[in-house]
Amino acid sequence: MADRERLDGVLILGAGLAGLSAALTAGPRKVVVISPEPLMSGCSSAWAQGGVAVALSPDDDAERHAQDTIAAGAGLVDPDMARLLTCEGPEAVRRLAELGAPFDREPDGRFAQSLEAAHSRPRVARVKGDQAGRAIMQAVTDAVLAETRIQFRQARALALLQDASGRVRGALIEQDGREIALEADAVILATGGVGGLYAVTTNPAAVRGEGLALAALAGARIADPEFMQFHPTAIDVGADPAPLATEALRGEGARLIDGEGRPFMAAYHPQAELAPRDITARAIHRQILEGRGAYLDCRQAVGEHFPAQFPAVFAACRAAGIDPRLEPIPVAPAAHYHMGGVWTDDQGRTSLAGLYAVGECAATGVHGANRLASNSLLEAAVFGTRAGLAARGETAPTAPVLPAKASPDLPPEALMALRQAMSRDAGVVRDRAGLMRLLRLIETLAAAHGPALPLTAARIIARAALNRTESRGAHCRADFPDAAEPPRRTLTTLADLVMEPAE
């Protein structure tokens, strides 16, 4: 039987930028932050290279940023949520700078900003070229550690606690081998995305959709889970996870070439290297599939400046025996960012009372079918802050909390089989035969190992991908290559998704 503890405050599951932003604004309430990894470890926020997209220059504004966000999302972006994001973005970035995030500056003190794919203006605030995520997380982590009302516990969440009304009242966690039913006035999911469900990913391998699965098993509404963004230029050297060649390199003029040294992106899109990510990812996928290869040529655009301008990419290349100053970098698409997740409103509230979701595990509607480059850290900061402010006003009722059952672990060999199947059948290009094969594997693994959280998350993604009989944004169906009209979001629950799709 689990031990029981009571927190008169807010419980946050996850310690990335979204979760820690919520922790900082949930004051004066007490906060407990739960993460299976130490602070600054195992979260996607710290791995983010490109920076934060935000309209700060004199020739830019929030409306232009919103319009670019809406255009990239292929008809599924909620325009009101996009405008909320872009309007509150500048203040969010200034707050991060005040906490100590060392953004690159122009000589006159203004934020230096770079151009990335599908942006109409240079508006990505960076740190030393490709160090934004780690530098921002260091500043926010330092601020959290200075707050005595915020406690960090290295533990993992096993299930959400609920009362008879369905209200979320805390979480069942495992810490130091003990199961603890930790009750709280509000729970904020900030567990990250689903990249670890794929064999080829740029995400930490431990990020496997746990928050999505926990919320779905509790009955929460899920939005757009079929939309997984594949970063076009993961460094293709067989590493797990795959190191990333940031999009900022293409913003600086790096070109995508085939094995013969011929540029190929102009044949796929008029913006060539700066085409939206879904188009670029599919172009590279096709180049590789058809045997022509894909490489990122930075020799002229960056050249000798590589170690100083992009130190993380340079180090990853050198570790793989590649000198990007002298030779092109082999690249391939990799699972990078989940646009779908737990449905929320503009305060981070989910469909379940007492439960909030922020960051990549949430579906706010700002990304639609294809996230605009560098909007992810911005979303984490803006909506993490908003959720913390809202959650601090929660008071739990006195109704009894129901017992919760932990989901079983998935053995390593079963997890690898799942990851390989997800990359093969729910990857850059999908079809009915592959998705049905994937779902059969998931059912087989569930029968053998029980309802493990990664299996629940994978089932949700695969079912929604099977049900969406069109190609839109990052969701490409080889058997349904055209987009259907009018555009529609997926808004569902786990109970609805496990029913046979209407195909």
Answer yes or no: 149 catalytic.
no
Hey, what's the torsion of the CAs at 67, 70, 75, 77, to 10 degrees?
Answer: -140
Which residues 6+ apart lie within 8 Å of 10 measured at CB? Answer: 22, 23, 26, 29, 30, 31, 32, 184, 185, 186, 187, 188, 388, 391, 392, 394
CB burial string 202-238: b at 16+ within 10 A, e below: bbbbbbbbbbbbbbbbbbbbbbbbbbbbbbbbbbbbe
For helices 412-425 and 453-467, the axis angle rounded to 10 degrees is: 20
Length of the chain, please? 503
Q: 431: phi > 0 → left, psi -120 to 50 → alpha, else beta; which?
A: beta
Q: Please give the DSSP secondary-structure letter assigned to residue 302.
A: T
Residue 333, preceding peptide bond in cis (omega within 30° of 0):
no
Furthest CA-CA distance within the chain: 69
How far from the centroid of its chain's Cα atoms is residue 269's Cα?
25
Six-digit token string for 20: 């820690």
Half-sphere exposure of 169 (CA within 13 A, CB side): 21
Residue showing tokens 């391939």? 332
Distance CA 343, CA 212 (A): 10
Distance CA 199, CA 446 (A): 19
Distance CA 151, CA 432 (A): 47
CB burial string 444-458: b at 16+ within 10 A, e below: ebbeebeebbbbbbb
Residue 170 φ then ψ, to 5°: 145, -155
Contact (CB, 8 A) for 170 and 184: yes
Spell out the alpha helix ranges (H) of 331-431.
376-391, 412-425
SS3 helix, strand, coil % of the chain, rounded to 5?
35, 20, 45
Catalytic residue among 221, 277, 282, 349: 277
Catalytic sites, residue numbers: 277
